[in-house]
Structure 1
């Protein structure tokens, strides 16, 4: 039986496979979204365990949300849903 050494970052920050429309900006946003979800999970666990107060948890999640929103804006995700693969507007 072969044992695979698991990198601690892969263990702590697992990434799921992306099945959506493959474009560079979609892949980057998906990675950002998965990181957001992982960090929110950690904050929730800390708050649930009594390690941080609810107000601190809320503030940390609010900051993470702003970062994700900024990422979406910079990557122009969903800004022109009528663009096709070639960058041209599709006919209705």
Structure 2
């Protein structure tokens, strides 16, 4: 990957440092949460520009939210995967 490609990727999908109390689970959940936020932002942009319907955007965000809830349950709450 060239430097310009890396800069483009960093612009489109920014990542922030983890600043909480460190544990592998918390770090993984933080990465999942950032991915959720990035995808919601992209979905909102697609909906705003008329590329997808409001209902489709809602359904996609709802599905993403379910994955975040499962991630939290498995990583943060310490539950066994279902």
Same fold (TM over 0.5): yes
TM-score, normalization by structure 2: 0.82
- Higher share in helix: 2
Bigger RCO of structures 1 and 2 (CA < 8 A, at least 6 apart): 2
Residue in structure 2 matched with residue 5 of structure 1 by the alignment:
3
Paired residues, number: 75
Can you give the 5+ residue segments of structure 1 that lack an aligned partner in the other structure?
A: 80-92
Structure 1 segment 39-78 matched on structure 2, within 5 A: 39-75=39-75, 77-78=76-77
Across the aligned residues of Structure 1 and Structure 2, the Cα RMSD in angstroms comes to 1.7
- In 2, the alpha carbon distance for the partners of 1:36 and 1:44 equals 12
TM-score, normalization by structure 1: 0.74
Deviation of the 1:13 alpha carbon: 1.9
Can you give the 5+ residue segments of structure 2 that lack an aligned partner in the other structure?
A: none
- In 2, the alpha carbon distance for the partners of 1:31 and 1:69 equals 14
